[in-house]
Amino acid sequence: MSTVENKKGIDLYTWNTPNGRKVSIMLEEIGLPYRVFPIDITKGDQLQPDFLQLSPNNKIPVIVDHDTGIHLMESGAILMYLANKTGKLLSPMGDKYWEQMEWLMLQMGSIGPMLGQTHHFVKFNPGKSPYAEERYAKENARLYQVLENRLQGREFICDEYSIVDIATWPWISRFEFQQMNLSDYPNLKRWYLNIASRPAVHRGYGVPDVLEVPLPE
């Protein structure tokens, strides 16, 4: 991991995962300049001592804000920090703020962890644990339905585009990993395609490697 003296702005340590893409999409949306340091989790970069100083849990993403001296792990905390830093994509304290927190915590506590288990068992280890495959596939479908119901009559999860959508969208972008058909969830599909059309989302999705945004049939 390289270091440069007298840095300003934000360093982003990331990889091509839903949690990593949350932060690169956020940075593109709010327009803050940043430098990218790829952490190849397939090669164990996340276990290197210098990275562990920034992320004791050996997970990406991590940011270092050289303007404030703050460094943060955990994607939800990073999104909240960047929103507060810029005054963008998060409502002021009040009823709407707490609604956004409610749905952000749903992503952090349920959608991310459960869909991540679907990836592990259904995509990468099929046949090793039929019970786990069935359990997480059912939970995956249940959470898709929660979002489907929530998005009835709404353009975005909390009515206006926010860090809630930025946190959730990258996990739905792995619908192929999850063997899910977005056409079975028309509200969710509409929301997904709406966000997928945003230029900042395309740019952020291609960090650290330039990859095309998955589009459902």
Which pLDDT value is given to residue 15? 98
DSSP one-letter string for 5-60: TT--SEEEEE-SSHHHHHHHHHHHHHT--EEEEE--TTTTGGGSHHHHHH-TT--S
Nearest in space to 134 (alpha carbons), one of 179, 182, 174, 175: 179
Is 121 part of any domain? yes
Asked if residue 17 lies in contact with residue 110, where contact means CB atoms within 8 angstroms, the answer is no
* Radius of gyration for the chain, computed over Cα atoms and rounded to the nearest angstrom: 17
Which pLDDT value is given to residue 16? 98
Same domain? For 151 and 101 the reply is yes
Same domain? For 75 and 156 the reply is no
Is 208 part of any domain? no
Distances (CA, A) of 150 to 159, 190, 198: 10, 13, 21
Is 152 part of any domain? yes
Compute the C-alpha angle 51/163/207, nearest 5°: 45
Which pLDDT value is given to residue 7? 79
* Residue keyed to tokens 């230029």: 199
Same domain? For 153 and 112 the reply is yes
Same domain? For 80 and 133 the reply is no
Is 191 part of any domain? yes
Q: How many domains does the chain have?
A: 2
Q: What is the dihedral of CA 172, 85, 161, 208, to 10 degrees?
A: -30
Same domain? For 100 and 164 the reply is yes
Q: Which regions of 66-122 does DSSP assign to beta strands (E)?
A: 70-73
Domain with 54 in it: 10-86
Same domain? For 101 and 159 the reply is yes
One digit per residue, the tens of pLDDT, for the chain of length 217 reads 334 446 789 999 999 999 999 999 999 999 999 999 999 999 999 999 999 999 999 999 999 999 999 999 999 999 999 999 999 999 999 999 999 999 999 999 999 999 999 999 999 999 999 999 999 999 999 999 999 999 999 999 999 999 999 999 999 999 999 999 999 999 999 999 999 999 999 999 999 999 999 999 8
Residues with Cβ within 8 Å of residue 133, at least 6 apart in sequence: 121, 122, 126
CATH number, domain of 101, equals: 1.20.1050.10
Same domain? For 44 and 123 the reply is no
Same domain? For 49 and 110 the reply is no
Same domain? For 194 and 149 the reply is yes
Q: Which of 86, 111, 146 is the last residue of a domain?
A: 86
CATH number, domain of 66, equals: 3.40.30.10
Tens digits of per-residue pLDDT, 12-42? 999 999 999 999 999 999 999 999 999 999 9
Is 144 part of any domain? yes
Which pLDDT value is given to residue 6? 62
Is 206 part of any domain? no
Asked if residue 147 lies in contact with residue 168, where contact means CB atoms within 8 angstroms, the answer is yes
Could you give the CA distance from residue 67 to residue 64 in angstroms, rounded to a whole number?
9
Same domain? For 127 and 145 the reply is yes
Same domain? For 118 and 66 the reply is no
Tokens of 126: 């099929």
Same domain? For 109 and 71 the reply is no
